[in-house]
């Protein structure tokens, strides 16, 4: 088993593969002004096991295309779709969020929670604009600095893990320079991180440690634990921020 397989096994049983909540998804949706539009066409990029996909399917009238690079996550979501009888409205696809073919069609809404970092915030936004209708919107979460200054330890951690991390104001500028009209932004609250993401992850880590003993497991566990520790210590300085914007 390689590191990617192990990471997939660690996460695939969880409802969320990153911080988030139904409330935050619905709040961002409300900012788009599209929540009550009928026949909406939505593209959910980096859908994972589909927490936000199912929230959107529940609240919106229309269809959703949910895309993720990793088959095991898509398969999990597909099972949930069948269980809920949503096959006619929600389709899953395996692929990368920067593949041009996904943007040949025009959508009302492009959604992405905890995933745009895989292609870069600005690059993703510029590419995804091609897949939006004239009045279409994007809603994405991105790890962001919440303050102008922060302690060296957390600065260095994120500089190492994700050098693309920016402040909220810079990300809003990036949105506007990428051809969008900024509508709203808000930071995800603590429950999104702790109750909804870290607690189930900790439980899963204990299961994985019982199942496998290897240096790779311990390294991954140490990395995840370190991230949780840093969140507890420095959550006032960084967080996931929802950005909502309209095509311009």
Ligand X SMILES: C[S@@+](CC[C@H](N)C(=O)[O-])C[C@H]1O[C@@H](n2cnc3c(N)ncnc32)[C@H](O)[C@@H]1O
For residue 22, the tally of other CB atoms under 10 A from its CB is: 15
CA dist., res. 79 & res. 94, Å (int): 15
For 213, half-sphere exposure in the C-beta direction (CA atoms, 13 angstrom radius) is: 1
Q: What is the nearest approach in angstroms of ligand X to the Cβ of residue 234?
A: 19
Of 161 and 173, the one with the shorter C-beta distance to ligand X is 161
Cα 131 from Cα 125, distance rounded (Å)? 10
Binding string, 39-58, against ligand X, x = CB under 6 A? ------xxxx--xx------
* Dist. CA 234–CA 244, nearest whole Å: 25
Given 10, 57, 77, 115, the residue binding ligand X (CB under 6 A):
115
As measured in angstroms, the least distance from the Cβ of 19 to ligand X is 8
> What are the CA-CA distances from residue 179 to residues 35, 118, 134, 248 (Å)?
22, 20, 11, 6
User: Shortest distance, CB of residue 102 to ligand X, whole angstroms?
Assistant: 9
Q: Which helix (H) or strand (E) holds 110?
A: strand 107-112
Q: How far apart are CA 205 and CA 211, in angstroms?
A: 10
* Lookup: tokens for 128: 């995804």
Options 70, 76, 129, 246; binder of ligand X; rule CB under 6 A: 70
With CB atoms as reference, the residue minimizing the distance to ligand X is 48
In the complex, what is the shortest distance from the CB of residue 44 to ligand X, in angstroms, rounded to a whole number?
A: 8
Compute the distance between CA of residue 69 and CA of residue 49 in angstroms, rounded to an integer. Answer: 11
Give the integer Cα–Cα distance in Å for 217 and 3. 8
Name residues contacting ligand X, limited to 72-101 (CB under 6 A).
73, 96-97
Residue 124 in contact with ligand X, rule: CB under 6 A: no
Total of residues contacting ligand X (CB under 6 A) = 22
* Beta carbon nearer to ligand X, 114 or 136: 114
Q: 8 vs 173, which CB is nearer to ligand X?
A: 8
DSSP for residue 112:
E
* Residue placing its CB nearer to ligand X in the complex, 53 or 185: 53
Bridge partners of 184, per DSSP, are 244
Q: Which stretch binds ligand X (CB under 6 A): 76-84, 114-122, 202-210, 231-239?
A: 114-122
The contact pattern for ligand X, residues 1-40, with x = CB under 6 A and - = no contact, is: ---------------xxx-x--------------------
- Alpha carbon distance 22, 244 (integer Å): 16
User: Rule CB under 6 A: which residues touch ligand X?
Assistant: 16-18, 20, 45-48, 51-52, 67-70, 73, 96-97, 113-115, 118-119
């Amino acid at each position: 088993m390689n590191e990617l397989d192990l990471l997939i096994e660690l996460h695939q049983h969880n409802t969320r593969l990153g911080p988030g909540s139904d409330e935050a998804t619905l709040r961002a949706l409300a900012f788009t002004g599209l929540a009550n539009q009928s026949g909406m066409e939505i593209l959910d990029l980096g859908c994972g096991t589909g927490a936000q996909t199912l929230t959107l399917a529940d609240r919106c009238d229309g269809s959703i295309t949910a895309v993720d690079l990793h088959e095991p996550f898509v398969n999990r979501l597909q099972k949930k779709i069948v269980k809920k009888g949503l096959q006619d409205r929600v389709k899953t696809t395996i692929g990368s969020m920067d593949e041009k073919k996904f943007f040949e069609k025009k959508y009302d809404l492009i959604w992405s929670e905890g995933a745009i970092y895989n292609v870069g915030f600005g690059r993703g936004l510029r590419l995804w604009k091609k897949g939006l209708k004239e009045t279409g919107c994007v809603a994405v979460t991105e790890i962001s600095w919440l303050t102008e200054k922060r302690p060296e330890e957390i600065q260095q951690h994120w500089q190492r893990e994700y050098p693309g991390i920016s402040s909220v104001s810079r990300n809003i500028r990036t949105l506007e320079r990428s051809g969008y009209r900024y509508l709203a932004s808000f930071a995800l609250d603590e429950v999104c991180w702790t109750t909804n993401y870290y607690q189930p992850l900790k439980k899963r880590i204990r299961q994985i440690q019982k199942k496998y003993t290897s240096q790779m497991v311990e390294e991954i566990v140490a990395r995840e634990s370190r991230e949780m520790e840093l969140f507890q210590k420095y959550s006032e300085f960084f967080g996931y921020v929802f950005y909502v914007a309209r095509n311009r």
